[in-house]
Amino acid sequence: MVGVATALGKNGLQDWLIQRVSAVIMALYTVTLVACWFVIKDGDIQGWKTLFSTIYMRTFTLLALLALVAHAWIGFWTVSTDYIKDMWMRLTAQVIIYIVIFLYLVWGIQILWGW
């Protein structure tokens, strides 16, 4: 049973499920971007701007960004608890990485929604 404040889910099964669902979302997003790359002629910037101006693509991108954050959070928690044995080093590394992940989330939202 996961009982640490830096864990995302309440238990290992929930963390496992979050990682699998987030991986599927990121895979679907990647397939969508690759398909759009083939549809948008010559990598035209106006085509990409038009694509990302729709509410559907912005919402899907936000969902993919949240999935990436959840996936990274759980992944780093798992790796750090397995390989960093000293509690203070692990906590310090987790706090630093989680701050960076949060800042990337805020930055991504700012870029996506133009705030």
What is 12-113's CATH number?
1.20.1300.10
pLDDT tens for 35-92 read 998 888 777 888 888 889 999 999 999 999 999 999 999 999 999 999 999 999 999 9
Domain boundaries, the chain: 12-113
Rounded CA-CA distance 69/11 in Å is 18
Average pLDDT over residues 21-25: 97
Q: Which residues contact 70 (CB under 8 A, 6 or more apart)?
A: 8, 18, 19, 22
8 Å CB contact between 68 and 107: no
